[in-house]
Amino acid sequence: MYSTLEQKYQRIQKELMAGAIALGGVFLIGTLWYKFVEGWSWADAAYMTVITLATVGYGETHPLGSRGRLFTIALIVLGVVNIGYIVNRFTEAVIQGYFQQGIRLRQQRRLMESLSQHYIICGFSRTGRQIAKEFRSEGVPFVVIDSDQESIDRAQNEGHIAFQGDATLDDTLLKVGIERAICLVAALPSDAENLYTVLSAKTLNPRIRAIARASTEEALQKLQRGGADAVISPYITGGKRMAAAALRPQVLDFVDGILTGADRQLYMEEFLLDPAFCPFVGQSLQKAKLRSQTGALVLAIRRLDGNLIGGPTGDTILMSGDTLICMGTAEQLRDLNQILGPINSQNLRKPKSS
C-alpha cells in the first residue's frame, strides 16, 4: 500500500515517462518516413522531423509532394499535442511541488532504512501521540505508521519519522524495518487491526516485543493468545489509576513522577544481566555493592523464568538473564549502566548512556 503522496509522485512520474516515450515514438516515425518513403538521408530525415515537431518554421529540407505534406501536417499535430501534454504535466508537478516531495520521500526511505534497534508506533491517534511524546522525552528512535494522511502530516509537523500505510500489511512493516526493530506498539483504534498487526509483526520478527491496545477483556485475551507480550486496556488501566488516585494519591504521584515526563528528578530503568559483559553474575547484591558504588536502588529482580523478586536483600544472588529494576537519578543510572556493562538484548530497551 502506497501513501497518497507516493501515489501522486508515482503518477506524475509515469505520466511524464509516457509523454517522453510517445514523443520518442513520434520522432522515430517521422524519421523513418522521411528516410524510406521520401528517400532522404538519415541526417536530413532526423533534421526535418526535429524542426517539424518543434514548429520552428525553417521550411522543407527537400521539396515535398502532397503526400509528404499531409504527413508533415499530421506530424506537427502529433508533436504539438505530445509536447503540450508533457509541458502540462511538468508544470503541474512544479506547481504542486511533486519533485520536492519526491526528494523528501527518498530522504525518508533512506532514514527508515538506517533505523536499527528502534520502536514502531502503529496508529497516531490520541494514544499514539502520547506514546510518541514519551518516546521522544526518553530519546529513543521510533517511527510512526498511520493510514490517515492528516495523522501523518501531524506526526511530521511534530518532528517524528512517519510512514503512511496499513500497519496490518507485511509490506508496510517491512518498509519501516520491522526485522531491525526491538519493539512494536499497536495503538490502532480497532482491536482486530491490532491483532492482525501483532500477528504480522511476530511472523516477520519473532524476537520483537509487541505491545497492543485492547478495548475489551475478550480482545485482551485474544491479543495475548496472538503473541502480544503486553496488552493494555485504556479502560481497565484508567479505572485502576483513578481508584489509586482516590485511595493512594501520594503513591500515584510518586510513581508517575519517576515513570513519565522529561523533567524528572528520579527515574526507573531496567537492566538485563549478560554474563559476557556483567562481572557480577553469580555474586550476591551485598558483594556487588551496586548501591554503594552508584547510589541507585535495586527495587526488584525478574528471573529468567519470569519469577519476580520484590525488594531483594543483600543475600540475593545475581544470575544470568536477570532483569534488574532500579531507581535513581539519571547520573546514578548511567553509572550503574557502566558498571553492569552494555546490554545486548533484543527484548529490552538499552538504558540511556548519555
Per-residue pLDDT of the chain (354 residues; tens, 9 = 90+): 345 666 777 788 889 999 999 999 999 999 999 999 999 999 999 999 999 998 887 888 888 999 999 999 999 999 999 999 999 988 887 887 777 766 777 777 787 778 889 999 999 999 999 999 989 988 889 999 999 888 988 998 898 988 888 999 999 999 899 999 999 999 999 999 999 999 999 999 999 999 999 988 889 999 999 999 999 988 888 888 889 889 888 888 888 777 766 667 788 888 989 888 888 999 999 999 999 999 999 999 999 998 999 999 999 999 999 999 999 988 898 889 888 874 433 333 444 443
d(CA 171, CA 210): 18
Tell me the three cell numbers of residue 295: 547510589
Residue owning grid cell 493494555: 232
Task: Tell me what pLDDT residue 344 has.
Answer: 39
Characterise 210 by phi-psi region: left (phi > 0), alpha (psi -120 to 50), beta (else): beta
d(Cα 172, Cα 152) in Å, to the nearest integer? 14
Taking phi over 0 as left and psi of -120 to 50 as alpha, with beta for the rest, 93 belongs to alpha
3 state DSSP class of 176: coil
- Cell 509483526 -> residue: 201
Instruction: Of 188, 228, 347, 193, give the one whose Cα is nearest residue 220.
Output: 228
Residue 30 one-letter amino acid: G
Q: What is the pTM of this model?
A: 0.63
pLDDT the model gives residue 347: 38
121 touches 135 (CB < 8 A):
yes
pLDDT of 131 reads: 93
